[in-house]
Structure 1
Amino acid sequence: MTSLLKSLLATIIICLTAMMPSLAQELPKILVFSKTADFRHDNIEVGAEAIQKLGRENRFDVEHSEDAHLFTKERLAQYQVILFLSTTGNIFSDDQKSAFQDYIQNGGGFVGIHAASDTEHHWPWYERLIGGYFMSHPEVQLADIHVHNHEHPATVHLPKIWKRKDEWYDFEKLNPDVKLLMTLDENSYQGGKMGNFHPISWFHEYDGGRVFYTALGHTKEAFQEEDFLKHILGGIRYALGLEKD
């Protein structure tokens, strides 16, 4: 092998080696955040593992943490989406709230699952972001979900009426600016308190960011259901800006 060829091969190897970290960094990165200050769901670890598996199968990186110290402007900048997995209670300091707000205002994506709506009840900005606050729920039972939007990536795969078992949240302080995806039929189960209009999943653009929320996901079994996992994946893809709404 000539010295020129050796030099050329060495240059190619050096270039490829230098490119490998940057190629890995091109994958979107998601923070699954599950800190709880009130009730803690026993499916959080299972849910985080399921979302990490979705990431491996769909080319995005997933980091799971409950450390609110990640909520600084500099640290949040590494994530394209922040996902609240059944967070509860008041989980942030004022500085951490400011960092999260700045993240959304700079185009960050947000996904909320289940008890994400039972979080930071006294923060008006978060109230509008999440789209509605958890108020109450009856026992876990079967119910009919009416799917109103079959164009969104979180619902495109679902039937018009989706029958499933979950813990059905009632809400207060609903943000009228959110875009509806699904409602509950209160005639199909016992204990609903919202009447004929009972939103259960929605999305919107808010303060610079893209937001998806679903109240589904109370049980461990939910994170083994293909339709539910596709629902979550579609919400993540919307928040990432990979899909049109």
Structure 2
Amino acid sequence: MRLHRLVLMTALLLGAAQALAHPRVLVFTRTEGFRHDSIPAAVEALRRLAAEEGLGFAHSEDPAVFDDAALADVAVVVFANTTGEAVPPPHQGALERFVRRGGGYLGIHAAADTGYDWPWYGGLVGAWFLSHPPGLQTARVHAEPADPDAPAWRVTDEFYDFRENPRPRVRVIARLDTADHREGRMGADHPIAWCHDYDGGRAWYTGLGHTEALYRDPRFLEHLRAGLRWSAGLQPDCR
């Protein structure tokens, strides 16, 4: 009996060590509303970024992946253009516990159009989607704090307005130039990407990522890389 317990304990410790040595990125793309054509491109871009950062990778649309055991070796959960009530209540607690244990969350674009009946998730993502002007827009995106040496980043995408300005609760890392985005409803200050510590973990969100073309844009890919690295605990700065 003692030998059996020793073998079992050793196996558990080895499994835990392997999980820590090879943490995974879990990309979740379930949609219960509008479905973005860019989801496959987002998944492949994140797969490449994870490999380049030495992280394991998994992709699922099954909310059953939000399970304490299944999340044990996950460093960051990515909601890539999810919509609607993508995580039903029976599985919500596991994601909450994952974040409270220090896990990371990364939300892309329609991740803010998700979980309206889940107040905890609204706090995690930082702000919920309100509306967007029809069609695609082109606008300059400014990093915060401003980098005088960086050229203006002109982005063509679908730009979200949010129900509230998240700035009082998060660290804004990029905003839209409202001189370019005259149809927006956010007023003079329009955050488009941010990060914050939340309930014991880390949360990073970008409102960009509607179009498939963006996932081939080197600057957008570096934007996602920074979010992935920070959410996974690989760098101290979320920009």
TM-score under structure 1 length normalisation: 0.84
CA displacement at 1:61 relative to structure 2 = 1.3
Among 161, 168, 174, the residue aligned to 1:170: 161
Task: Please state how far the C-alpha of 1:25 moved relative to its aligned partner.
Answer: 6.5
Q: How far off its partner does 1:58 sit?
A: 2.2
Contact 2:19 2:73 (8 Å CA) reproduced: no
Residue deviations 1:136-166 (CA, integer Å, cap 9, x gap)? 111212101121136xxxxx8x936321111
Percent identity of equivalent pairs: 40
Q: Deviations over 1:86-144 (max 9, x none)?
A: 00001222221111111101111010000000001121111111000011111212101
Matched, 1:234 2:226: yes
Cα distance in 1 for residues equivalent to 2:59 and 2:214: 19
Q: CA RMSD in A?
A: 2.0
In structure 2, the residue matched to 1:15 is none
Give the CA deviation at 1:32.
0.5
Distance 1:166 1:133 in 2: 18
8 Å contact kept, 1:145–1:184: yes
Q: Does 1:142 align with 2:118?
A: no
- Secondary structure, counterpart of 1:53 in structure 2: helix
Pairing partner for 1:121 from 116, 124, 131: 116
* Structure 2 unmatched ranges of 5 or more: 1-13
Larger radius of gyration: 1
CA gap of 1:211–1:24, structure 2 versus 1, over 3 A, is: closer
Q: Which residue of 2 aligns with 1:194?
A: 186
2:205 paired with 1:205: no
Q: Which amino acid aligns with 2:23?
A: P
In the TM superposition, 1:80-119 aligns within 5 A as 80-119=75-114
1:62 CA displacement = 1.4
Contact 1:131 1:174 in 2 (8 A): no
What amino acid is aligned across from residue 180 of structure 2 in structure 1?
Answer: S
Partner of 2:208: 216
Contact 2:104–2:232 (CA under 8 A) maintained in structure 1 = yes
Task: Name the structure 2 match of 1:60.
Answer: 55
Structure-2-length-normalised TM-score: 0.86
Does structure 2 retain, via aligned residues, the 8 Å contact 1:90–1:119?
yes
User: For the Cα contact (< 8 Å) 2:128–2:164, is it kept in 1?
Assistant: yes
Contact 1:35/1:91 (8 A) holds in 2: yes
Q: How many Å separate the matches in 2 of 1:111 and 1:70?
A: 16
Distance of 1:40 and 1:187 partners within structure 2 = 30
Describe the superposition over 1:34-70 as per-residue Cα deviations: whole angstroms up to 9, x where unpaired: 0000000001011101111112222111111101011
Q: Which blocks of at least 5 consecutive residues in structure 1 are unaligned?
A: 1-18, 151-155
Counterpart CA distance in 2 for 1:84 and 1:174 is: 21
Higher-helix-fraction structure? 1
SS of the counterpart of 1:80? strand
Q: Offset of 1:177 from its aligned partner?
A: 1.5
